[in-house]
C-alpha cells in the first residue's frame, strides 16, 4: 500500500472525526421524559353562555387532571386549602333561606360554587370545586348579590322620597384555590377574585 493511499485514509478519517465532533451529543444518563405543552384557552367556552365573569357550568372543566394533581400534591394542596376554607365560610353567611334576608334595594341573591372565574388581573382561572381527593371534598362557595337591572342607579324604593337615595352595586374580594395546568411543578395557587356582594342603598341629605 503506497504512502499516498495511507495519507488519503488518514485525511478521510480526520474529516469524519471533525464532523462528528461538531454534532456529537453524549447520550443522557437517564430517560428524559417528554413534556407536551398544555393548552388552556384564555377565554373558556363556558363564558359564551353567560354575561357574568364566572361560570357555574363548564362542560370542559378539567376534573380528571385536577384530581390527578390533587392526589400527586396532596399535603401541599391541603395546606393551601385550609388557608381559604375559613374565608369561604365567612363569605357565605349562616342563612339557609333567601327569604330570611331583607333588602332596601331589589336584588338577586345566590349561593354559588364557581368552576371558572376572572381574577383581579383579568385572567380566567379554573377554580377547584366539586372534586374529591383522598376523602377530602374540595368545595368553595361564594354569596353573590346583584342589583336588578332596573334598580342600579335608581332611588331606593323603601326609603322616603324626602331623602336623596340611590341603589349601587357593591363587590368584595374572595380568595379561591385555583388550578393552573401550565405549571408542571405545582399547578395550584390562591388567587383573588372580585364578585358582586350587595345592592347597597346610599342615603344622602334630607330635603323638605
> Is the per-residue pLDDT at 7 higher than 70?
no
Give the pLDDT confidence of 82-110 residue by residue, as tens digits: 988 866 655 554 444 444 455 789 999 99
Position 129 in a domain: yes
> Is the per-residue pLDDT at 68 higher than 50?
yes
Full domain range(s) for residue 64: 39-206
Position 125 in a domain: yes
Position 121 in a domain: yes
Considering only CA atoms, which of 149, 171, 159, 168 is closest in space to residue 207? 159
Position 194 in a domain: yes
| Contact present, 84 and 175 (Cβ < 8 Å) | yes
Position 6 in a domain: no
Residue that has been written with the C-alpha cell 394542596 in this structure: 77
Position 4 in a domain: no
Q: Output the domain CATH number for residue 174.
A: 2.10.90.10
User: Using 50, 70 and 90 to split pLDDT, how confident is the model at 42?
Assistant: confident
> Highest mean pLDDT range out of 42-51, 75-84, 128-137?
128-137
CA dist 185 → 74, 76, 81, 128, 198 (Å): 13, 12, 18, 17, 38
Give the pLDDT confidence of 126-140 residue by residue, as tens digits: 999 999 999 999 999
Helix (H) / strand (E) element for 53: namely: none
> Is the per-residue pLDDT at 119 higher than 50?
yes
The reported pTM is: 0.73
Of 31-35, 144-148, 163-167, give the lowest mean pLDDT range: 31-35
pLDDT of residue 130: 97
* Pair type for strands 136-138 and 142-147: unpaired
Share of the chain above pLDDT 70, in %: 71
> Is the per-residue pLDDT at 206 higher than 70?
no
Position 173 in a domain: yes
Q: Which three cell numbers stand for residue 158?
A: 323603601
- Counting the structural domains of the chain, the total is 1
Give the pLDDT confidence of 160-172 residue by residue, as tens digits: 888 889 999 999 9
Position 150 in a domain: yes
Amino acid at each position: 500500500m503506497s504512502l499516498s493511499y495511507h495519507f488519503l485514509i488518514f485525511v478521510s478519517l480526520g474529516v469524519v472525526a471533525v464532523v462528528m465532533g461538531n454534532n456529537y451529543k453524549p447520550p443522557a444518563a437517564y430517560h428524559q421524559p417528554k413534556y407536551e405543552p398544555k393548552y388552556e384557552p384564555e377565554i373558556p367556552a363556558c363564558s359564551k353562555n353567560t354575561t357574568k365573569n364566572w361560570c357555574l357550568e363548564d362542560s370542559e372543566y378539567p376534573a380528571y387532571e385536577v384530581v390527578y394533581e390533587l392526589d400527586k400534591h396532596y399535603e401541599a394542596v391541603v395546606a393551601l386549602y385550609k388557608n381559604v376554607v375559613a374565608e369561604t365560610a365567612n363569605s357565605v353567611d349562616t342563612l339557609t333561606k333567601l327569604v330570611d334576608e331583607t333588602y332596601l334595594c331589589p336584588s338577586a341573591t345566590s349561593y354559588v360554587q364557581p368552576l371558572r372565574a376572572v381574577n383581579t388581573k383579568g385572567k380566567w382561572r379554573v377554580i377547584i370545586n366539586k372534586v374529591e381527593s383522598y376523602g377530602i371534598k374540595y368545595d368553595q362557595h361564594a354569596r353573590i348579590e346583584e342589583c336588578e337591572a332596573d334598580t342600579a342607579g335608581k332611588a331606593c324604593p323603601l326609603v322616603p322620597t324626602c331623602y336623596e337615595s340611590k341603589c349601587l352595586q357593591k363587590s368584595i374580594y374572595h380568595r379561591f384555590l385555583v388550578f393552573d395546568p401550565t405549571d408542571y411543578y405545582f399547578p395550584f395557587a390562591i388567587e383573588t377574585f372580585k364578585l358582586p356582594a350587595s345592592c347597597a342603598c346610599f342615603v344622602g341629605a334630607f330635603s323638605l
